[in-house]
Amino acid sequence: MRIARVVLPVVLACSSLGPVPHVAGQPLEGNPSRGAAVFGQCVACHSVESGVHLTGPSLARVWGRRAGTVEGFTRYSEPLKHAAVVWDAATLDRWLEDPQTVVPHNLMTFPGLKDARQRADLVAYLKAVATGQAPPTASGGGMMAPARPDLKTLGPERRVRAIRHCGDGYHVTTEDGRTVPLWEFNLRFKTDSSPLGPSRGRPVLLPAGMQGDRASIVFASPEEISRTVEAKCP
């Protein structure tokens, strides 16, 4: 009874201090709803729609999958393609904390999420997505990739009719008859082979840059670039 009288006050004293703090090495239990909000930091590079790849692969079904094996994504780094890593709570937590520690020299530019609670919530969210139990967002649906325009629907002021290169500049003529001169260093040629890309043979001009002096021309396929650009000075 003497032991009981000593232990009981100690237990009561400890319980008055509040919840027991997290012990290092023990996984935190994440909250998928909070994790959906944390995933907002990822949507510029990743979607959670199956088959929709951005800068990085879709994360719709990464749970339980070997790293570097998402179908349809062809831009993995060599180290990640050959890494013997399977994504679960432990490996995802380490990866989210510091990707370069898990797989050195991978192409992930994300420096890491240092808050253990946020990592646990994000891991819980990715697991929920993979099992079809993703929580609704404030808009009522799953977390979506950033909206992209359908380039086939753009008007004549964006559809490119001709591109002429002269000296250090390009002269881009659109279907509405307007010609825009651009310094060659400020014009980017891109391709978009997705369903949202331009129609074949109908590249589009997209403005870029805060000063309005930069632009991109988006083609349906790479071979269209050389067929469209003409080297000619008046």
Structural domains of the chain, ranges and CATH numbers in brackets: 24-130 (1.10.760.10), 151-231 (no CATH)
Nearest by Cα to 172 from 201, 215, 210, 211: 215
Cβ-based neighbours of 75, under 8 Å, separated by 6 or more = 107
What is each CA distance from 93 to 17, 27, 203, in whole angstroms?
29, 9, 42
**Predicted local distance difference test score (pLDDT) of residue 10:** 37
Per-residue pLDDT of the chain (234 residues), as tens digits, is 444 444 334 333 433 434 334 445 556 889 999 999 999 999 999 999 999 999 999 999 999 999 999 999 999 999 999 999 999 999 999 999 999 999 999 999 899 999 999 999 999 999 999 999 988 764 434 445 457 899 999 999 999 999 999 999 999 999 999 999 999 999 999 999 999 999 999 999 999 987 778 999 999 999 999 999 999 998
Beta bridge partner(s), residue 184: none
- Give the global pTM: 0.70
Beta bridge partner(s), residue 183: 169
Edge to edge, the sheet with strand 179-183 lists 179-183, 169-174, 160-166, 229-231
Q: CA-CA distance, 34 to 142, in Å (whole number)? A: 13
Q: CA-CA distance, 61 to 223, in Å (whole number)? A: 34
Q: CA-CA distance, 159 to 206, in Å (whole number)? A: 9
Q: Are strands 187-191 and 214-219 parallel, antiparallel or unpaired?
A: parallel
